[in-house]
């Protein structure tokens, strides 16, 4: 089966391509570096010719409200139109667990929610894969929550996963029939956000103090107890954070 992965040269996309290829599919990585630009439409028709499935794992280059809204609107609109012209039978998109709740206060997540609506109302049968936060981004979360050398985070739950498991979840969706809705994926264990970040920093020799603060924000957004964890029926993958930390340390 020919599957085109939009954003197929990135962190998750390259892993999706590898997983699909390993299972005998013709997986094609499409990105601006390969001459395919979903924002302008450049190269889309040629890239999608003969594709049975299109996977979109792209992300806005900016988290600024207007820029992210423009990116997801133009990119998704162009992509869906090109898929309809090419007769693509399944559109798979990567999104984020908690998007509808985060969208209440975040322009970036409002843009993601608008992207999901375009897909849901569009002409191509679809699966939206909502994933929890990646292990690889925990350092960035700590940095974003640091004020005068102290990391302040809400005591909410988070159920993160490694990016290779995210890629596997997306690849599984791509080779199965469209669910015509949302499929959630997550890691095996839920943690208190401050505890997880403290463990991640300690493992890297980072001595910043991490404080659980009920008034603190997550990426500038007030979150509830379970905003960042998947609901019942989610597919949970096996890689534990502690095992990933050990593996990462062993790899240098």
Distance CA 127, CA 120 (A): 9
DSSP string, 106-175: -HHHHHHHHHHHHHHTSSS-EEEEEE--BGGGHHHHHHHTEETTEEEE---EE--B-HHHHHHHHHHHHH
Distance CA 252, CA 244 (A): 12
**What was the pLDDT predicted at 248?**
84
Average pLDDT value over all residues in the chain: 96
Distance CA 200, CA 148 (A): 19
Distance CA 213, CA 51 (A): 49
Distance CA 108, CA 61 (A): 11
**What was the pLDDT predicted at 123?**
96
Below-70 pLDDT ranges, the chain: 252
What's phi and psi for 241, nearest 5 deg? -60, -45
Q: What is the 3-state secondary structure (H, E, C) of 30-42?
A: ECHHHCCCCCCCC
pLDDT, tens digit, for every residue of 20-30?
999 999 999 99
Taking residue 115's Cβ as centre, other Cβ atoms within 10 Å add up to 25
**What was the pLDDT predicted at 57?**
98
Distance CA 125, CA 92 (A): 9
What's phi and psi for 78, nearest 5 deg? -65, -40
Residue-range domains of the chain with CATH: 2-250 (3.40.50.720)
Distance CA 36, CA 239 (A): 33
């Amino acid at each position: 089966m020919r599957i085109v992965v939009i954003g197929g040269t990135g962190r998750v996309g390259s892993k999706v391509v590898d997983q699909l290829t390993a299972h005998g599919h013709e997986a094609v990585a499409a990105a601006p570096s390969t001459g395919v630009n979903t924002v302008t439409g450049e190269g889309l028709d040629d890239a999608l010719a003969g594709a049975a499935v299109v996977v979109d794992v792209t992300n806005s280059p900016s988290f600024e409200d207007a820029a992210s809204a423009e990116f997801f609107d133009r990119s998704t609109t162009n992509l869906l139109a090109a898929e309809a012209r090419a007769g693509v039978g399944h559109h798979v998109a990567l999104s984020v667990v908690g998007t509808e709740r985060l969208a209440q206060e975040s322009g970036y997540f409002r843009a993601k929610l608008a992207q999901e609506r375009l897909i849901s109302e569009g002409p191509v049968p679809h699966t939206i894969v909502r994933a929890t936060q990646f292990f690889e981004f925990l350092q960035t979360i700590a940095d974003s929550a640091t004020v005068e050398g102290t990391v302040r985070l809400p005591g909410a739950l988070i159920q993160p996963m490694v990016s290779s498991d995210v890629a596997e979840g997306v690849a599984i969706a791509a080779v199965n029939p469209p669910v015509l809705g949302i499929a959630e994926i997550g890691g095996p264990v839920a943690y208190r956000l401050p505890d997880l970040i403290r463990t991640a920093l300690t493992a890297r020799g980072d001595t910043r103090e991490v404080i659980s603060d009920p008034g603190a924000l997550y990426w500038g957004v007030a979150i509830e107890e379970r905003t960042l964890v998947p609901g019942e029926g989610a597919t949970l993958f096996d890689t534990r954070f502690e095992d990933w930390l050990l593996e990462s340390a062993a790899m240098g």
